[in-house]
C-alpha cells in the first residue's frame, strides 16, 4: 500500500486488498472509498469484501465505482458527499489511484483554479493534465482556495 496525499485528510492508493484494511486502520485511516468497479480484473477483491473488511476494522466506507475515464457529474457529487460525510483521514483507491485523484480533482476545480488542482495532483504523483479542458469548463471563478476535505 503506497498512498499519496491529495489534500488534508484525503489519500489515493492503488488497489487495496481486504488484508490492507487492517493496516490502513493501524496507520490511522478512518475511512475507505472504493472507486474501482467489480470485475475489472481476475482475482480483484470485490467491493462487498472490501466493505466487510472496513466494517470489521471499524472504518467508514463508501463505494463510488467508475469505469476508467467515465466519471459523471453524479459520481463527482457522490465523491464530494463522501468527503464531507466520512471520518478523516480517508483512503480512496482504484487500480492505480488515478480515478480517486480524478474524482477529487473534478470536485475541486468547481471552486479552485484548475491549474492549482492539477499541480496538487502532480505533486501526489498523478498527471491529470488531460482533464484540464473539462476542469476549466467546470470551474466557477471565485476567490476560494483549494477545499481541504
Between CA 8 and CA 110 the distance in angstroms is 18
Q: How much is the mean pLDDT over the chain?
A: 93
Average pLDDT over residues 78-97: 97
Residue-wise pLDDT for 13-29, tens only, equals 999 999 999 999 999 99
CA angle 44-127-99, nearest 5°? 35
> Which pLDDT does position 37 carry in this prediction?
97
Between CA 67 and CA 23 the distance in angstroms is 27
Which residues are within 8 A (CB) of 149 and not within 5 positions of it... i.e. 6 or more apart?
Answer: 7, 8, 9, 10, 83, 84, 88, 90
Rg (CA), the chain: 15
Domains of the chain: 4-138 (3.90.190.10)
Tell me the pTM.
Answer: 0.91
Amino acid at each position: 500500500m503506497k498512498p499519496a496525499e491529495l489534500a488534508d485528510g484525503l489519500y489515493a492508493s492503488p488497489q487495496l486488498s481486504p488484508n490492507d484494511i487492517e493496516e490502513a486502520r493501524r496507520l490511522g485511516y478512518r475511512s475507505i472509498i472504493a472507486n474501482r468497479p467489480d470485475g475489472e480484473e481476475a482475482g480483484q477483491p470485490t467491493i462487498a469484501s472490501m466493505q466487510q473488511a472496513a466494517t470489521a476494522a471499524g472504518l467508514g466506507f463508501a463505494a463510488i465505482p467508475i469505469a476508467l475515464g467515465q466519471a459523471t457529474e453524479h459520481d463527482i457529487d457522490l465523491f464530494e458527499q463522501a468527503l464531507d460525510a466520512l471520518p478523516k483521514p480517508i483512503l480512496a483507491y482504484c487500480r492505480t489511484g488515478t480515478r480517486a485523484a480524478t474524482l477529487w480533482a473534478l470536485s475541486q476545480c468547481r471552486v479552485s483554479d484548475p491549474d492549482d488542482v492539477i499541480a496538487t495532483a502532480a505533486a501526489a504523483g498523478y498527471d491529470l493534465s488531460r482533464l484540464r479542458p473539462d476542469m476549466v469548463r467546470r470551474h466557477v471563478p471565485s476567490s476560494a482556495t483549494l477545499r481541504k476535505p
